[in-house]
Homo-oligomer: A and B are copies of this chain.
């Protein structure tokens, strides 16, 4: 096992790209369901795929991550094409929810890591993790005129992203190394989301 460790930058860029592809599928699937045309499917694939990271980079005043990253853009297109041509396969409940959970976990930790690398404090790191993971899906649902899944009762979506960012922040603050902090944060976010999917975990609601 004497592989050289992955650099934080490589981890970050890999996480962003895998997340981009699986999120793009979720947007494309929604567009097909909404009877949009071919280009509408591609556009709706882009929104969750790069929306959260774009918002993060704009707010942090960083260069938007996909401007010099052709691979990311091609992966977003590929996710849209996959939804368009293999709708029946990718729109199945399981095929959609699990890669989405992986993408959410990856985006949460990469967003938190980017904010932390820029020297931002605890709250901003949490917000950036949750935003990178959730804002794209929120924009997707708002544009498609759907109730935003992310904020819905019983979904635990942004909560998982927040928990993953929190664990990443804690591990990185303790000096455990980037790779371990990444793995710990991702695992936390993913397990919590898996619990929400499998066992229906949910947050309390206020008495309206």
Contact = CB atoms under 8 A, between A and B. Distances in A.
Interface in A45-73: 54, 58-61, 63-64, 66-67, 70, 73
Given A58-B59, A151-B37, A152-B37, A70 B208 contact: no
B38 A205 contact: yes
B208 A35 contact: yes
Contacts of A142: 142-143, 145
Given A58-B58, A63-B61, A123 B37 contact: no
A67 B124 contact: yes
A24 interface: no
A184 interface: no
B123 A40 contact: no
A59 B62 CA distance: 10
A11 interface: no
Interface in A166-208: 202-208
A23 interface: no
A128 to B, nearest CB: 10
B159 A39 contact: yes
Contact of A203 (B38, B59, B153): B38
Interface in A63-102: 63-64, 66-67, 70, 73-74, 83-85, 87
